[in-house]
Structure 1
Amino acid sequence: MGEYLIVASKDPDGAAEPRSDALAALARSHGLTIRRLNESCWLATGGPNPARCHQVGPWTLIGDVLNRNRPRLPHGGPDDPWDYERKMLARFWGRFVGVRFGPRRQLEALLRDPSGALECVVWEQDGLTLICSHARNWLLDHLRPDWRINVERLTEALHDPLAGSGALLIDGPVAVSPGTVQPLPLASAPETLWSPAEIARRSLGPAPSLEEARTALRSALDEAAGGLAGLGGPLAAEVSGGLDSSLVAASLVCAARAPVSLWLNAYGTTPESDERVHARAVGQALGFEPLSVPHATAPLTAAGLQAMAAEFRPNAAVLDTPHDLAWARHILEAGAAGLMTGKGGDSILVQAPSAEVFVDLWRARGWKALRSPDMAELAAANEISLWTMVGAARRQRRTGHRPPIWDHPILTPLRRDPDVHPWLRDCDDLGPGKAFQIAGVADSVSHNNPTALSAMVDVRNPLGAQPVIEACLALPTWILAAGGRDRGLARSAFADRLPDLVLGRRSKGDMTRLYSRIILDNLAVIRPWLIEGRLAALGVVDPVAADVELTPGTLMWRGQYAPLLAAIVFEGWVRAWECRLGPADRAPPPARATAPASRVSA
């Protein structure tokens, strides 16, 4: 959705007020619309579907606010100072941040909705409190804040698949976490009002029947798709041919009955990235004809990589900028203002059920888990025996959860394990399958990071919305993997809406080779970009290893493209922010003990 900037004067009668007025004039000159929230605070909005204000009790909620169909209010009490806010986040969902004013109409607290659909970065400077969603050059050039890139955190983030939704890699501003309230001043400790682990503990109770679970999932997706479709403006929708976007399409057509002016399908040049047959089958079942267009690519350039990476967080989606620009053109030419996607489904619906799903069932039922007819199918899908899964279940109680980290030869080895993502710090009573699902939810927050597409079109992700997140987290993973299949519950819940060609397929569309081609075809740019770049100068990337790894033969033999793509994007991000803040330097890391993490080479 659109962008916002909030500026509040700590002393409206003091020296900060002229600085606030100058910023308002600057924001207006860059096309933003200014609205006074009170005499000491103003809001600037712009972009597609600009944020609106909603008054809920003492809170001004900025963005899209929707009523829950069947809210489940938490049990609070008079001793909980945030009882009202916990109930508010259960009654409403959407894409919003909130501000609350205290005595003398001074800003006293912020909050961010549980989905994390709107970024919320805050800092205090020269008597002002500033909160925003985007890192705009005009704003930072004017303010010149005293920030620095945290090289140690940057190093850890390159090894962390969940870095896209955790702490910022800059010392100075603070990112408010989803589902969290941040009292002001910023030295105050934040308060977590909502967490995935808290919702996931509902799955530890008596398991619902399969039919009850189907109803819960279908109702949640219908609520999310219908609510986001009703935000206004003509709609376009992604229909990749895969299951996730097909589920969203079914809810849009069958439940929301939303008018969609354009159904878009992108196909790659390899068989596994061309799903036009499946997209057409979905269209025939639901009554529309998808427009299939090639997945657009373009040669990488150093200037382009740096220009695309200037937001608060490094975002691998910037490598898809040519595709984003092509889709934006199709969507705008069709007269649409919003795009519904299927992003987030892989994680929340349990796309890749592993032996960890059996471990979850074993923790709940012990040896009775062997009676489940789905577990034999699960073992076969993972090409292991049922007894191997039993052994893994018995060992897991001794080893606990190990958050994954990336391991790649070009990355300098860590001197300590990274900080665990906040959402994974309180999962010891949950099984590893559920913990992995929560990690996926944390990763899905990054789908909302700004892109070239979201700058022109309001991108909406129903599968990353709070109703769907909560419904799926509250279900045991073995029910979500009903039949021992990936997204098994979703397949059966939508069996009356989607064609068997999509529901029954065992393969999944895969763009991996497309992104590997991006690296192979652009090695002339990528090699000096990383070998002679800022990450190498800071000791984050090993230039000698990069020289060996970034060759066609090694790439085709060894692969491991995900951490390489991350390194390419992080390099651009560092260069962009050093232009703003000055050169980064490495400080010695603080000593601390951490739990071991499991290495992956994705």
Structure 2
Amino acid sequence: MKHRYLLLILAEDEGCQEHIQLIATLTQLPLVWRHGRIILFSDQLPDVLLLPPGNGVIIGKLFRRHGYPEQVCELKSDDAARFAPDPVQCLIEHYWGSYVAAISNSNRVTILRDPSGGMPCYYLSSSGIAALTSDISLLIDTGLLTPSVNWNGVGRTLYWHQLPPEETAISGVSQLLSGCSLIIEGSEINRTESWRPWNYVAYDGDDDRKKRSEGLRRVVQASISAWGSCFPRSLVGLSGGLDSSIVTACLARSSAKVTCLTLATDDPVGDERSYARYASQAIDAELIEDFYSEDDIDLDKSVAAGFPIPSGKAHEQTYNKRVRAAAATSQAAAFFVGAGGDNVFYLTHSVRPLIDRLRTEGWSLDLVSTARDICRITGANIWEVVAEAVRISPKTTGLQWNGAEDYLSREFVESERCLPPEHPWLNSHDTVPLGKKGHVAMILRALHHIEHRDKALAVPMISPLLSQPVIEFCLGVPSWWACEGGIDRAVARRAFADVLPAPVSGRSGKGSPDGFVARFIARHRAAISERLLEGNLAHHGLLDRAAVERVMAPNAKFELLDCPRLMALLDTEAWTNSWSTR
């Protein structure tokens, strides 16, 4: 069962007992902890952990940084000395997990969301009460929120594509970003960074590849074993690609009983079953094979329904439906995915690794090796690689985030272009290597992707490759190591070469349902065109009607790259309807 919590920070210590009881009745959540003006309602008592001094609480799953890889179920008296000086930094440095922590200190309350963003945290302030929750329906049930669509927030989510937003698309509701804290004093609320990726990107000069690969394997295995200890039976989404196969192999080495699920389309690019069979047979696990189906896609529904951020794509409905069925059939207690592996292992097709190596080591013949590695991965020739390195090297200073203008109205794009993208991780020093800036940008995209989870899935979805120890370790790997030998995610491939079947560890291509999506769009042009051109996005001036009319015209050709964007627009349209009709 997924964790639902409601955390209230009152203006004063004294709260009306009848009002508290009413909230428990309206939300159907028990009151599980109270300290001063902090009140916590939660449906998962085993995942509520009290801090040793008694002035704080951790909501979610917590693991120790060192020691046996299992969930921390109790913080004992010998932990108290560690927490005493600075509980927030203690959590960051000595623990990890999927949690939100609330800590009271005199008149100040600090709320920390863990760096991996595994536990959702949305909040608002109303009538002297700060309310934080994993599910904003709880804010609605208690009368703290009357939902209305923030149309500027909708547009910004589409324009600043895949950038986790602090401002959500529901008016008055904000998101506490990963690794950030809220400081609440009286009626004043301020946000601060408690964890920054830039603290982990420095190269220590140790060029022992074998040692680094072995270290990565230990960190990944320990993190997945810790997660596996929480669930007796697990379902794994297994494409047969590198990332999901690593998760599957490591999970099988923990105490969890594993069942695998792979989904295929009816075209070769979307059919990865042969690779999934290799990976599942290597651990002697059952493999459920299923297929994407157009019949599962309802254009009236959004996969992000119930979330305050429209971040889904309409075709994900068929994936979600098949996962739910497989989870029920296998009696799984959790659904594990390899999401974020490309990002954390730094699958790059850029020349940034070449620039990083030049700036770190200076001129040497090793630069030629890295340039050739990039040529093998990208298919470019050596002169094209060098020319691109020269082009971007002097210009790229901060962490860049380009707006996605496709199918958005010119008026909205022009109004948004003059505003900077907003996220604390975008503020990096110019001395940070370009490859590491790209690496952090990819991790941000992964965190945004996992933010919307299928609310109809009865079990939690776990993305173990985005665990804090894995992120921190990978950020410290030099960017040019990731493409060494002309293969992507080279360090991860070396780390698990003797664990994965050779066809899987040596696989360079990736499957995709894009062909399935393209056929769906082609077959439903009229319905898609009507929904977009006559819908809320167009009515509120966010959509480029002419661009949509062109691509949706009978027999018009569109590129596969257009498919994800069109399905995102469709899902966003359905998302706006789901809130507008409440």
Pairwise same-fold verdict (TM > 0.5): yes
Q: 1:393 aligns to what SS in structure 2?
A: helix
C-alpha distance in structure 2 between counterparts of 1:143 and 1:563, whole Å:
35
1:345/1:133 Cα in 2 relative to 1: closer, same or farther (>3 Å)? same
* Corresponding residue number in structure 2 for 1:327: 323
Equivalent of 2:523, from 521, 524, 540? 521
Is 1:357 matched up with 2:359? no
Query: Residue type of the partner of 1:394?
Result: V
Report if aligned partners of 1:534, 1:574 keep a CA contact under 8 Å in 2: yes
* Within-5 A mapping of 1:346-425: 346-368=342-364, 370-371=366-367, 373-401=369-397, 402-412=400-410, 413-417=413-417, 418-425=420-427
The CA deviation string for residues 156-215 of structure 1, in whole angstroms up to 9 with x for no partner, is 321222234553234423321111111014644322111112222x23x31431112101
Q: Between Structure 1 and Structure 2, how many residues are aligned?
A: 558
* TM-superposed deviation, 1:325: 2.5
1:262/1:114 Cα in 2 relative to 1: closer, same or farther (>3 Å)? same
C-alpha distance in structure 2 between counterparts of 1:357 and 1:54, whole Å:
44
1:295/1:210 Cα in 2 relative to 1: closer, same or farther (>3 Å)? same
* TM-superposed deviation, 1:128: 2.4
* TM-superposed deviation, 1:415: 2.1
1:435/1:120 Cα in 2 relative to 1: closer, same or farther (>3 Å)? same
Is 1:439 matched up with 2:435? no
* TM-superposed deviation, 1:518: 3.5
Query: Residue type of the partner of 1:125?
Result: S
Deviates more, 1:267-276 or 1:139-148: 139-148
C-alpha distance in structure 2 between counterparts of 1:171 and 1:165, whole Å:
13
1:536/1:285 Cα in 2 relative to 1: closer, same or farther (>3 Å)? same
C-alpha distance in structure 1 between counterparts of 2:549 and 2:22, whole Å:
49
C-alpha distance in structure 2 between counterparts of 1:178 and 1:286, whole Å:
34
* TM-superposed deviation, 1:445: 1.3
Equivalent of 2:98, from 81, 95, 98? 95
Report if aligned partners of 1:309, 1:569 keep a CA contact under 8 Å in 2: no
1:224/1:502 Cα in 2 relative to 1: closer, same or farther (>3 Å)? same
Report if aligned partners of 2:483, 2:490 keep a CA contact under 8 Å in 1: yes
* Corresponding residue number in structure 1 for 2:239: 240
C-alpha distance in structure 2 between counterparts of 1:462 and 1:121, whole Å:
22
* TM-superposed deviation, 1:454: 6.5
Deviates more, 1:61-70 or 1:541-550: 541-550
1:83/1:367 Cα in 2 relative to 1: closer, same or farther (>3 Å)? farther
Report if aligned partners of 1:262, 1:290 keep a CA contact under 8 Å in 2: yes
C-alpha distance in structure 2 between counterparts of 1:213 and 1:353, whole Å:
22
Report if aligned partners of 2:166, 2:176 keep a CA contact under 8 Å in 1: no
C-alpha distance in structure 2 between counterparts of 1:555 and 1:83, whole Å:
59
* Structure 1 residues not aligned, in runs of 5+: 72-80, 581-602
C-alpha distance in structure 1 between counterparts of 2:313 and 2:548, whole Å:
22
Report if aligned partners of 1:375, 1:484 keep a CA contact under 8 Å in 2: no
* Within-5 A mapping of 1:536-575: 536-551=538-553, 553-557=555-559, 559-575=561-577
Report if aligned partners of 2:304, 2:452 keep a CA contact under 8 Å in 1: no
Query: Residue type of the partner of 1:320?
Result: E
* Corresponding residue number in structure 2 for 1:195: 196
C-alpha distance in structure 1 between counterparts of 2:4 and 2:404, whole Å:
32
1:190/1:550 Cα in 2 relative to 1: closer, same or farther (>3 Å)? same
Q: 1:95 aligns to what SS in structure 2?
A: strand
The CA deviation string for residues 303-358 of structure 1, in whole angstroms up to 9 with x for no partner, is 323x8523111121564233323222222222211122111101111223322222
RMSD of Structure 2 on Structure 1 (CA)? 2.8
Report if aligned partners of 1:162, 1:439 keep a CA contact under 8 Å in 2: no
Q: Greater relative contact order (Cα 8 A, min sep 6): structure 1 or 2?
A: 1
* TM-superposed deviation, 1:274: 0.8
Query: Residue type of the partner of 2:99?
Result: F
Q: Structure 1 vs Structure 2: percent identity of aligned residues?
A: 23
Query: Residue type of the partner of 2:103?
Result: R
Q: 1:168 aligns to what SS in structure 2?
A: coil
C-alpha distance in structure 1 between counterparts of 2:166 and 2:127, whole Å:
27
Report if aligned partners of 1:54, 1:65 keep a CA contact under 8 Å in 2: no
1:372/1:215 Cα in 2 relative to 1: closer, same or farther (>3 Å)? farther
Report if aligned partners of 1:66, 1:94 keep a CA contact under 8 Å in 2: yes
Report if aligned partners of 1:321, 1:451 keep a CA contact under 8 Å in 2: no
* Corresponding residue number in structure 1 for 2:110: 109
Q: 1:481 aligns to what SS in structure 2?
A: helix
Equivalent of 1:448, from 447, 450, 460? 450
* TM-superposed deviation, 1:444: 1.3
* TM-superposed deviation, 1:432: 2.7
The CA deviation string for residues 48-99 of structure 1, in whole angstroms up to 9 with x for no partner, is x97432425543111000001289xxxxxxxxx9954223211111100011
* TM-superposed deviation, 1:151: 3.2
C-alpha distance in structure 2 between counterparts of 1:65 and 1:552, whole Å:
54
* Structure 2 residues not aligned, in runs of 5+: 69-83
* Corresponding residue number in structure 2 for 1:484: 486
* Corresponding residue number in structure 2 for 1:66: 63
C-alpha distance in structure 2 between counterparts of 1:536 and 1:144, whole Å:
30
Report if aligned partners of 2:310, 2:572 keep a CA contact under 8 Å in 1: yes
Is 1:294 matched up with 2:291? yes
1:452/1:409 Cα in 2 relative to 1: closer, same or farther (>3 Å)? closer
C-alpha distance in structure 2 between counterparts of 1:297 and 1:34, whole Å:
43
